[in-house]
Amino acid sequence: MKKNKQTATVLFSDCDSTKFISYPNYFQWFDRATQQLFFESGAAWVKVWKEFDLAGFPLVDVQATFVGPAREGDEIEIESWVEEWRDKTFVVKHVITVASDVVVVGHEIRTWAVADDSVAEGIKAAEIPAEFKSRFD
């Protein structure tokens, strides 16, 4: 299983009035970490969407559990990996740490989406090819 690690320095603009990271920023970091994981696995989104004629990987669920603080000036590490492949969706797990202490654990559930010609500008979930999943072994 391939994992991706990224680091970021928490900036003033990442924080709310209590000087903790404003929670929507974690979800933005999850999204970026997922895209980087795919890129480093040879599955850059623009390339893969053309290769498999995809409409994208829309989110159908995203969750986070906040277990510790991160503040302005902290260096965070975001570790991400595909935790589970399902027939038409996949789960990406994210763990964010500060100085090796876990501060947030989250996941995204994304759909393998193709165009749905029965609906104007529609999309639908489709089976994820095994050849694609193997890029993350």
Catalogue the active-site residues.
Answer: 16
Q: How many CB atoms lie within 10 A of CB 108?
A: 24
Contact 78, 8 (CB under 8 A): yes
* Rounded CA separation 45/31 (Å): 12
Contact 27, 80 (CB under 8 A): no
CA-nearest of 132, 46, 30 to 79 is 30
Contact 68, 101 (CB under 8 A): yes
Non-local (6+) Cβ contacts of 66 within 8 A are 23, 26, 103, 104
